[in-house]
Structure 1
Amino acid sequence: MSVRPLRLVQVGAGAMGVAWLRTIAAADGVELVGVADLDVERAEAAVRSVGCDSAGGSGSRLGGGSVVVAGSLGELLAAVEPDAVVNVTVPAAHSAVNVEALFAGLPVLCEKPAAPTLAEALVQAAAAEATGHLLMISQSRRYFAALTAFRERVAELGPPGLLTTDFYRAPHFGGFREEMPQPLLVDMAIHAFDASRHLLGAEPVSVVCESWNPSWSWFQGDASATATFLFSNGTRYVFTGSWCAEGRDTSWNGEWRAVAAGGTATWDGESRVTSSVRGLEENVAPGAHEQIAGALAEFAEAVRTGSRPDSAIRGNLGSLAMVEAAVRSAETGERVNVAALMEQAYEEALALPVRDEVRERLKSWGAVATVLG
């Protein structure tokens, strides 16, 4: 029996938005029915770039359905009836779009980070609970077959005493990333931080972080950093990276090493996974759905079946907390306790202007520990 495609609308049509449109166009079981962007002409051009015709409102075709182009999510929802929303706006707009979609009765797949601040992310978690709808954050770099293989090799070694990521690239993005105060930690390091939680099956306790901006940097904010996290299982996780490192780039996933009583395992961030156990070395073939295609596939399955993905907003809070704790440590020069930071963010969330339903849900928690279990 055939299953009706999941009808999606996408909000945001910038460079990452175009990447998402192409992914949606190539995916089975989903259909794009609308795209919104404050710049409607940009949205129309984005739709055309994936092989569709757009006439500034409707008539373009993708996946067998008409693609409506509008200036906001509200305009889209007045014109089409989607099953879900894909949010690819800039981080500062994530909260507003996600909350609007959830209260419109729609599950949401949102680009990382969930929000610029942990307090705003907590508001989104409360909105998801209040509405009973899924809000999933696309931690797209979890979706690599080689990462899964590396996780298995790490588990064979016993609890790691040390886990490290080295990340060195030199991208010239232009736009908002080059204007952010902490572009590396906020926009990129969350991928590695999230993967560290995934690999260790544990949560961060505290962090010491230093960030700086090299003299040759084309970023306004700090494009280099080193952060050392203490995890609840005793592992030290060390992230060192730079976005101003010309030459000898690492993978976008970074290069990983885990050291435990049973030996050492490594991952080059691409296909090569090694383990000192039995002298094992693997070249892992790509999976069927990797990166944002993997996030989309998991989201679609969750919407259809009611399953709860690991990157649902509750499960993602720990990764965003690592980012905010690292930034706080870099700014103050002090070790930051993650649990204390979470409780402070909870108090800030209670003070934010939010819908009554969201505020009541926030108050019902009593403490962030209630949310994190």
Structure 2
Amino acid sequence: MTKFHIAVIGCGGMSKSWIEYALQREDTEIAALVDLRKESAAAMAERYGIQCGIYDDVRQAITESGANLVFDVTIPESHAAVATMAMELGCDVLGEKPMTVSMAEARRLVDLAEQKNRTYAIMQNRRYLTQIRAFRELVHTAGIGEIGFVNADFFLGPHFGGFRDAMASPLILDMAIHTFDQARLITGQDPVSVYCHEFNPAGSWYAGNAAAVCLFEYDNGGVFCYRGSWCAEGSPTSWESQWRVNGSQGTAIWDGASPPFAEVAVPQQEPAFTRTFERIEADLSWQGKQGHHGCLDEMFAALSEGRKPETNCTDNIKSMAMVYGALQSAKEGRKIQLAELM
């Protein structure tokens, strides 16, 4: 059995679920806790009763502890530096989203992971929910036909305070990658272009653009339409968005909270103005862990089996391209071919 010796980089609040997960596994040990503020790492060790080295330097932590796996739970601006250092020192890396803060850095990290034959996987916890797995299955097996029009609505009004309120593009840059990544999971397709209009609606408490409409095109002519706002007061959607996937023979629906269903056209002998439909309920039998722990399960299974995980950097960069393509489109006022970013 492979033994994972983990260096946890970043000991803020986000690291708790990662550490709790690792402590539940027999094949893992926390070999080092690292934070710019060593007292934060020491406090985390005391909180969970972890006996390990406490560091404020990534290189020293990895080399002295013998770590072979890094949890990167730092701020986004640090991801590229941490992942680069870890892979250069022979470690695989499991990191928080987003992979980096630019497409240039993302491409460089993907190249480095492939050169070093290392795994660099990104946390996309919203893929690992029973209902979204059921919805994906429904889209592909219920008989709705060829996907032509995918719609996701995301309308919430969280009053975070702090850095999000000051960001230039809080919705697209901080949150939309979840929905964009979910669209790729659900459809099994990657868009080829995007046109985006982002804006800041009346009543917004954000300094930057807190709302956006994005039109992504697929190579078969299909469209994914994303409508979102982070300053929408009243009648909120789920954090998972409200989904409608129209196919050539039916439609699949998921409101992000209730079990998904589909309505599929029933074959008819005679032409009719409107067709009748059969309702098909989703199969909710997926037994994986939910959220962060589900994603971590997949990451560790992939490492143990010698394969690339579902959210490996080579795949996740496609979700990153949707984010940065949308931002570029909004800035330049034109349709962006996503191949330009890849």
Query: Does the TM-score normalized on the shorter chain lie above 0.5?
Result: yes
Deviation of residue 206 (structure 1)? 1.0
2:268 matched to which residue of 1? Answer: none
1:361 matched to which residue of 2? Answer: none
2:58·2:82 contact (CA, 8 Å) conserved in 1?
Answer: yes
2:312 matched to which residue of 1? Answer: 312
2:2·2:304 contact (CA, 8 Å) conserved in 1?
Answer: no
Give the letter for the 2:17 counterpart. Answer: A
Deviations 1:245-271 (A, max 9, x none): 233322221111101121111112234
Superposed counterparts of 1:241-280, under 5 Å: 241-277=228-264, 278-280=278-280
Deviation of residue 168 (structure 1)? 1.7
Give the letter for the 2:117 counterpart. Answer: G
1:163 matched to which residue of 2? Answer: 150
Residues 101 and 212 of structure 1: CA distance in aligned 2, closer, same or farther (over 3 Å) = same
Please say which of residues 79-88 and 15-24 is displaced more in the overlay.
15-24
1:142·1:195 contact (CA, 8 Å) conserved in 2?
Answer: yes
CA distance in 2, matches of 1:142, 1:169: 20
Q: Unpaired runs of 5+ in structure 2?
A: 265-277
Superposed counterparts of 1:120-199, under 5 Å: 120-155=105-140, 156-199=143-186
1:139·1:311 contact (CA, 8 Å) conserved in 2?
Answer: yes
2:157·2:231 contact (CA, 8 Å) conserved in 1?
Answer: yes
Deviations 1:218-244 (A, max 9, x none): 322211111010012322001111111
Deviation of residue 27 (structure 1)? 4.8
What TM-score, normalized to structure 2?
A: 0.89
CA distance in 2, matches of 1:191, 1:104: 30
CA distance in 2, matches of 1:171, 1:209: 22
1:347 matched to which residue of 2? Answer: none
Superposed counterparts of 1:47-58, under 5 Å: 47-48=45-46, 51-52=47-48
Deviation of residue 324 (structure 1)? 0.6
Q: Which residue of 171, 180, 189 maps to 1:202?
A: 189
Task: Answer 1 or 2: which has greater helix percent.
Answer: 1
2:134·2:286 contact (CA, 8 Å) conserved in 1?
Answer: no
1:295 matched to which residue of 2? Answer: 295
Tell me how many residue pairs correspond in the alignment. 327
Residues 45 and 168 of structure 1: CA distance in aligned 2, closer, same or farther (over 3 Å) = farther
Identical columns (%): 35
Alignment RMSD (CA, Å): 2.0
